[in-house]
Chain A
Amino acid sequence: MKHTEFDAVVIGGGASGLSAAAEMSRGGASVAVVEREETLGGILNQCIHNGFGLHQYNEELTGPEYAERCIRDLDGLSVKVFTGMTVTLMETEEGTQLLYGFSRESGMVRFRCRAIVLAMGCRERNRGNLGTPGTRPSGIFTAGLAQRLVNIDGMVPGRECVIVGSGDIGLIMARRMTWIGARVRGVIEIQPYPAGITRNIVQCLRDFDIPLYLSHSITRIYGKDRISGVDVAPVRNAGGEASGAFHIPCDTLLLSVGLVPENEISRKAGVRLHPETGGPVVDARYMTSVTGIFACGNVLHVHDLVDYASEEARHCGQAVLDYLSGVSAGEQLRVGAGRNVKYVVPGRFALTGKNRFYLRSMITGTGARLCVRLGGIEVLRRKLPYVQPSEMISFDLAADEDAISSRFTTGGDETDLEVSLEIPEKEGA
């Protein structure tokens, strides 16, 4: 076993891990990045479509180009990279963290460090999670696995394809499958609204005349060896039976039914997870329930744009630098999701400096207002042109907002911030 020591170890060498590592290294910390795959860049490497980097680099990049930027950002910094290495265990020992990693090349490596940044990204929900009845033939792929087979290996998964779920990866794959000569017979979405961002609905489905069936689900899978077709039915409303079920023959089924933060090792290390995000519960400086373990990017909550993940990772890197240099976290308020909000990340508000929050809506519509209340008193109100669950919302809140500081000088005992989305009554929700 080899022994190494760093100030901070980042688990995951995708966009988030690399951004956090660069930030910490620039701040003078000694940093290692441990990446499971043979190359850095994470899932970006198989996302050969463009649309990345508009916020971070002010230009439109493909996934591999964005990954390359992240990797180049490490140039001149002394970040130590371990690829092909999987971390199997994290342990906390008197204020220091121990990690155990395994790779073909380095064998077993023990890392001793003061801070860990979790940046393992997420995985796709699969057929088992869906519980669709029927047979278990080959030809059922998560959209990401199919994307990898097509874009990395140049293979055609099949010729007649149905896509379940209108998540972004599924939409991107609808277009990709069409381009490699397959026929995409439909995208089936259980919700009454698309799960992916609007840009992808337009550019990947409408431009190719691929039907999108909203409020539909697949009810049965057929095929003995290879999948031969699926039954599709409208989702039953409260009224009972839905009519209009139909069968689509296909030899390939792609699943794009949501992403789940990958927290296998976090859980084993005692990191508390959030029931709504599936990621760790973190405070205002992205620290989890285990002192010295931080989290950012898709392992914390699933982002719709990589740019947001990078941004969050840099904030997280800054927070780790503060932690390493012994800056106290100061007082923090609890932050909670109020009306129509699925979750808010982070779950704490620091009474020093600027706080940036990310949230997801549970409603779809125009004219919604974002309201932040502290102990029932409104401290922030903003009009949002349009909200829907698939588009992440972010906002900044500074601790020196009058309402917040006065609240504290007057010694209010209600110390909770509540974030809500409200639609004026007359327009209906």
Chain B
Amino acid sequence: MMKRYDVVVIGAGVSGAAIARRLSAYRLSIALLEKEIDVSFGVSKANSGVIHGGFHHSPDLLKSRLEIQGNLMYDKLQRELHFPFRRCGILVAAFSTEEMRIVQELYNRGVANGAIGIELCNGDRMHMLEPKLNSDVMGGLFAPGGGIVEPYRLVFSLVESAVLNGVDLHTNFDVAGVEKSGKTGSEDREYVLHGSDGQSIRGRWVINAAGLFADRISGLFGAEDFRIHPRKGEEFLLDREASAHTGRVIFPVPNPVSKGMLVIPTVEGTTMIGPTALETDDKEDLATSSENFEKVFYSARRLIPSVSERDIITSFAGLRPSLEDGDFYIARSEKAERFVQVAGIQSPGLTAAPAIAEYVKDLLKQGGLELTEDPDYQGEIPAVPRFRSMSLHEQDAAVKADPAYGNIICRCENVSEAEVVAAIRRGHTSLDGIKFYTRAGMGRCQGGFCSYKILQILRRETGLPWEKITKRGRKSWIVRERISPAKTS
């Protein structure tokens, strides 16, 4: 007998995770489906992690409203979920009177949207707010409410919280087919969702938060016909020691297509530059290219001259799931019953996510889903203390309480065995999953030493054989087989 849920959320990116967590506060049975081996591994993993300031988009778009609301929800969210977040503020740097005119428009938009504390700055004030700025910057905009998060850690903790409150997480569940049962319009009407590997679940309500594949999912349910256009962004990550590490997020003056390439001081102390914006028609095209390297560095150096290629530790690409009209599409389907579209969640989707969850909850309520608060709901998840952020005294106490804190696995980022084990026990069982949860392998040596140790701990904790351990699921195996005398020459 396959399990029957009140609500099935398709896609465990930041939107789906935030929705599942919000709904877990009610007496509902909820399933969260993710086609990858781990949550956030679709669009969200490669997000730049900027919590936007509410001045980029015009007030008549849904996404502007949700951006402002979402931004204000982050402080409480972080107190409950302990993901890395800092309100460092955002600067938009202008180099000419022409650019200052656009900045003036951004300011007016921000005021119209209700962005808190937004201000226009002359050149001196800009340099005071960020001493590393190019001396040619003649003025700009300051949004003190903007900030930065680690996007995958945010998703991990949202899901952890959802699971703690009874949500069933199904990873490696790729929705390939849908059946309807019961009569149209009747109470017993429900969907049966089939995964491509043969597993199935049933749900009365379905939320389509499938990111790049929201159009395909909508089609499977016989709902609206639309197309998600992937727009690729490439980013470069610079070493902790890079002198380009700024105190705030630095934007150029935007163009109609994109917010431009930024310099982002990540919460964990590295510096990110990018992203590019390029339309592509392949939803799985995550390749970086050499042309963009020049582009990103030229643009970043124009803002912060001390950006140096010598500091690169890695580069990666992500895809934004955009719709033709550029706005979010969040609505109850007019064609499929009890089916909610959460599509086209590109920038500022991460910022808006907590507000999107609230908005979807209201749509469900209006659609007739009964929401009764669950008295056992816990908003807070237990924190996993990180060795690298403890004082010596705290480290001493941690090792006394759990000797695994004394075994340092990743020497670049000072990650202990205790943290790796915590990641595995929370379901992050691929090398990338552990990397994103713990930061082991994200430092200077990019896993040269710690990958091996993590492989060993994974084998011990999960009982998986060597050949079954992957970098990030599917066919991303690490080693092929044991050496056998027969095959060697």
Chain A residues near B (Cβ < 8 Å): 1, 36, 84, 86, 88-89, 100, 102-108, 123-124, 126-129, 131, 133-139, 142, 144-145, 148-150, 153-159, 178-181, 219-220, 222, 224-226, 251, 262, 264, 267
Q: How far is the CA of A171 from the CA of B431 in the complex (A)?
A: 27
Assuming A103-B406, A124-B445, is B452 touching A145 (CB within 8 A)? yes
Q: How far is the CA of A244 from the CA of B467 in the complex (A)?
A: 37
Chain B residues near A (Cβ < 8 Å): 237, 241, 284, 286-290, 293, 309, 312-316, 392, 395-396, 399-400, 403-408, 411-412, 414, 416-417, 431, 444-449, 451-452, 466, 470-484, 487-489
Known: A102-B406, A103-B406. 14 other contacts (CB 8 A): A104-B403, A104-B417, A107-B406, A123-B449, A126-B446, A128-B314, A128-B315, A131-B309, A137-B471, A181-B487, A181-B488, A225-B474, A226-B476, A264-B444
Q: Which residues of A contact B316 (CB under 8 A)?
A: 136
Q: Which residues of A contact B480 (CB under 8 A)?
A: 155-159, 251
Q: Which residues of A contact B315 (CB under 8 A)?
A: 128, 131
A89 and B403 contacting across the interface, CB-CB below 8 Å: no
Assuming A145-B448, A225-B475, is B406 touching A264 (CB within 8 A)? no
Q: Output the least CB separation between B236 and chain A (Å).
A: 8
Chain B residue nearest to A224 (CB atoms) is B284
A103 and B481 contacting across the interface, CB-CB below 8 Å: no
Which of B314, B408, B470 lies in contact with A88, CB distance below 8 A?
Answer: B408
B452 and A149 contacting across the interface, CB-CB below 8 Å: yes
Q: Which residues of A contact B474 (CB under 8 A)?
A: 225
Which of A88, A131, A137 lies in contact with B293, CB distance below 8 A?
Answer: A131
B289 and A133 contacting across the interface, CB-CB below 8 Å: yes
Q: Is the interface of A mostly helix, strand, loop or mixed?
A: mixed
A138 and B406 contacting across the interface, CB-CB below 8 Å: no
Q: Which residues of A contact B405 (CB under 8 A)?
A: 102
Chain B residue nearest to A149 (CB atoms) is B479
Q: How far is the CA of A264 from the CA of B392 in the complex (A)?
A: 18
B312 and A264 contacting across the interface, CB-CB below 8 Å: no
Chain A residue nearest to B392 (CB atoms) is A100
Assuming A138-B477, A155-B481, A181-B488, is B407 touching A104 (CB within 8 A)? yes
Which of B286, B314, B392, B483 lies in contact with A127, CB distance below 8 A?
Answer: B314
Q: How far is the CA of A154 from the CA of B483 in the complex (A)?
A: 6
What are 12 A-B pairs at a CB distance below 8 A?
A84-B407, A88-B414, A102-B416, A104-B404, A105-B406, A107-B400, A126-B445, A127-B314, A136-B316, A159-B480, A225-B473, A226-B476
B489 and A179 contacting across the interface, CB-CB below 8 Å: yes
B417 and A129 contacting across the interface, CB-CB below 8 Å: no
Q: Output the least CB separation between B237 and chain A (Å).
A: 8
Q: Which residues of A contact B237 (CB under 8 A)?
A: 128
Q: Which residues of B contact A267 (CB under 8 A)?
A: 241
Q: How far is the CA of A256 from the CA of B399 in the complex (A)?
A: 36
Q: Output the least CB separation between B243 and chain A (Å).
A: 14
Q: Which residues of B contact A104 (CB under 8 A)?
A: 403-404, 406-407, 417
Assuming A133-B287, A135-B287, A138-B476, is B407 touching A103 (CB within 8 A)? yes
Q: Which residues of A contact B293 (CB under 8 A)?
A: 131, 133
Q: Output the least CB separation between B459 and chain A (Å).
A: 10
Which of B312, B448, B482 lies in contact with A131, CB distance below 8 A?
Answer: B312
Which of B396, B448, B451, B489 lies in contact with A181, CB distance below 8 A?
Answer: B489
A154 and B446 contacting across the interface, CB-CB below 8 Å: no
Chain B residue nearest to A85 (CB atoms) is B406
Chain A residue nearest to B403 (CB atoms) is A104
Chain B residue nearest to A179 (CB atoms) is B488
Q: How far is the CA of A144 from the CA of B445 in the complex (A)?
A: 12
Q: How far is the CA of A324 from the CA of B417 in the complex (A)?
A: 37
Which of B407, B414, B478, B482 lies in contact with A138, CB distance below 8 A?
Answer: B478
Q: How far is the CA of A127 from the CA of B313 in the complex (A)?
A: 8
Q: Which residues of A contact B473 (CB under 8 A)?
A: 225
